[in-house]
Amino acid sequence: MNSANPHSGQDTAATQSVPRLVEHLFRHESGRLVANLARTIGLSRLDLAEEAVQDAMIQALRRWPFHGVPQNPAAWLAQVARNRAIDVLRRKANFEQKKEEFAHPLRPEIAQPAEVCEDALADDQLAMIFACCHPQIPRDAQVALTLKTVGGFSVDEIARAFFAAPTAIAQRLVRAKRRIKENGIALVLPDADERSARLDTVLRVLYLVFNEGYTAHAGDRLIRRDLCAEAIRLVSLLSTRKETNEPKTQALLALLLLQASRFPGREDESGELLLLDDQDRQRWDQELIRRGMFHLAESATGDELSEYHLQAGLASLHVSAASVAEVDWRTVLWHYDRLMEISPSPVVALNRVVAISMIDGPAAGLTALEEMPHQEALRDYYLLASTKGDLLRRLGRAKEAASEFQRAIDAGCSEPEIRFLQRRLAECQQAS
């Protein structure tokens, strides 16, 4: 047992003036500490870094109930994790030379208040995000690795969020770590010339993390909410560092904040999903909207129009309208047209159809929908059927609408969505 005890004094009565633990402190510190340790001992020893941090947190769990929270909980965890890593490495034969170089810089850092090394910690974390989103790592593993290593989520939590088996997530992580070793991926920021392209992957991964939490899938709701918060936290971090603060970073941050602003109001009291039409706009988070708008304005520099610019622009049109009827649908359509050029997808195409129907009526929407390319490929896609059903419903063709809603249900989607579609189906069956 390493004897260094970072606890400030043997003060058993410390519990009387304990600082309260900041919400999510462990989760956030876990990511920072793993990055910081891996920076010191090498990314190829990521497993050891993770174990050491896990161990430090277990020590906290076993000791703090008696002692109370130490004055600087983050520094306490850092010290114990480092001691743990040193202990393990010390047992390895080739450690002796390395010991000196890495045992020394530790002390002054720990002795300082946390703010002093705040920058260094952020740098390490930034490098870790880039490492987790390295192009040599498969996409689904990038997402899992970022959540695990940077975000401090456990395998079980990731599995719950993605509605996947824990073993499947664990395998992804093993694959990702193998890639790190095989490719000798290091914990460094990419060089300036490739940074912007690498940043694209990072932003895409964080966007996926947010979306996974945002879309109304099955899976644990609380954890999914945390995914969104984590994505926002990490994109915020990117936006505060000069190396990664590009207009597209600002645009993504704007997009996530504006989307998150609609969390309250997206569901009714019983957790049922509400359409934009039926949402109480008063309940949208005005502070998030204000921040989102601020970053959207910040993103309007340079000449790059990223997908995030367009999506954030769309979100801003929705949150700034007093009602669905007052949304500037022509500008919405303009955004979808641009999106179709940059990153065409079935979802974008369908949203474009909705915009057309809001401008020129449901009949025009139906025509646009039938003219959509790749109809065949989308036949079993529930959103196609539900959009079509909605247009038919608005045209008063209840019977046809009902069969589309049925088709959407059969195509498979999340529980809240199925319930929503069933309500629509029942309405149309009554009307026909």
Partner 1 sequence: MSQFMLILYDTPEMGQKFQSFSPEEMQAAIGKYFAWAEQLKSQGIHKGGNKLKDEPGKVMLSGGKKPEVVDGPYLETKELVGGYFLIEADSYDAAIKICADCPQLEFGGKMEVREVDMF
> Does residue 176 contact residue 138 with C-beta atoms inside 8 Å?
yes
Report the length, in residues, of the chain: 432
- Given the complex with partner 1, which of 164 and 411 has the nearer CB atom? 164
- Distance of closest approach, residue 265 Cβ to partner 1, in angstroms: 26
- Given the complex with partner 1, which of 27 and 217 has the nearer CB atom? 27
Which region holds residue 138: left if phi is over 0, alpha if psi is between -120 and 50, else beta? beta
Which of 2, 8, 15, 17 contacts partner 1 by CB under 8 A? 15
184 scored as a contact of partner 1 (CB under 8 A): no
Q: Is 267 helix (H, G, I), strand (E, B) or coil?
A: strand
323 scored as a contact of partner 1 (CB under 8 A): no
- Given the complex with partner 1, which of 34 and 366 has the nearer CB atom? 34
Sign of the Cα torsion 271, 275, 276, 280 reads negative
**Site map (CB under 8 A) of partner 1, residues 43-82, x = contact:** -----------x--xx-xxxxxxxxx--------------
- Distance of closest approach, residue 228 Cβ to partner 1, in angstroms: 15
Q: Which of 321, 211, 222, 333 is nearest to 276 (CA)?
A: 321
Q: What spatial distance separates the first Cα and last Cα of the chain, rounded to whole Å?
A: 76
Gap between the Cα atoms of 335 and 352, Å rounded: 9
- Distance of closest approach, residue 80 Cβ to partner 1, in angstroms: 12
Place of tokens 């025009």: 364
Tell me the sheet residues that pair with 339.
Answer: none
- Given the complex with partner 1, which of 14 and 117 has the nearer CB atom? 14
Tell me the sheet residues that pair with 267.
Answer: 273
- Distance of closest approach, residue 302 Cβ to partner 1, in angstroms: 37
- Distance of closest approach, residue 61 Cβ to partner 1, in angstroms: 5
Which of 17, 21, 337, 363 contacts partner 1 by CB under 8 A? 21
229 scored as a contact of partner 1 (CB under 8 A): no
226 scored as a contact of partner 1 (CB under 8 A): yes
CA angle 234, 238, 239 (to 5 degrees): 115
Which of 47, 118, 156, 380 contacts partner 1 by CB under 8 A? 156
Per-residue tokens: 60: 């906290």
Torsion of CA 139, 144, 150, 152, to 10 degrees: 170
Gap between the Cα atoms of 419 and 349, Å rounded: 24
Name the maximum alpha-carbon separation found in the chain: 82
- Distance of closest approach, residue 298 Cβ to partner 1, in angstroms: 31
- Given the complex with partner 1, which of 37 and 354 has the nearer CB atom? 37
- Distance of closest approach, residue 356 Cβ to partner 1, in angstroms: 44
Q: How many residues of this chain bind partner 1 (CB under 8 A)?
A: 31
224 scored as a contact of partner 1 (CB under 8 A): no
Contact residues: partner 1, CB under 8 A:
1, 12-13, 15-16, 18, 21, 24-27, 29-30, 54, 57-58, 60-68, 152-154, 156-157, 226
